[in-house]
Homo-oligomer: A and B are copies of this chain.
Amino acid sequence: MENKKIYITARCPIRTTLELVGGKWKLLIMHQLYGQTLRLNKLKAAIPDISEKMLIQELKVLVQSGLVHRKSYGEVPPRVEYSLTGKGENVKPLIKEMVNFSRKYEEKSRVGG
């Protein structure tokens, strides 16, 4: 009860992260991109229930944030490849912790914790 908590202001690390990767899809997309380069159709197939619009929209903001790299080959029909940037690869430990959290949650739920 002694420790002073930082007050939550407009700019705090939790909010920054929430803005960067919050929402329903961004982390799922980035998770698919981890360690591999994918085109739109592959991503769509890997996340069956995302709509094309959402996928494109979220990729766009991820590119703008510098978390995802977009490489266009300038061909017709278009060929565009998406991959994680260096910054984007930092989501790995975050996702790992999320997986961890849900696992622990479900464990404790089973034993009535």
Chain A residues with a Cβ under 8 A of chain B: 1, 3, 5, 7-10, 13-18, 20-24, 27-28, 31-32, 34-37, 46-49, 66, 85-87, 90-91, 93-106, 108-109, 113
Assess whether A8 is in contact with B35, with CB atoms less than 8 Å apart. Answer: no
Neighbouring B residues of A10 by C-beta, 8 Å: 49
Chain A interface main SS type? helix
A76 → chain B, closest Cβ, in Å? 25
The reply to whether B105 and A1 contact each other, CB–CB distance below 8 Å, is no
Which residues of chain B are within 8 angstroms of A9 by Cβ–Cβ distance?
48
Closest B residue to A8 by beta carbon equals B47
In the complex, what's the smallest C-beta–C-beta distance from A37 to chain B, in angstroms? 7
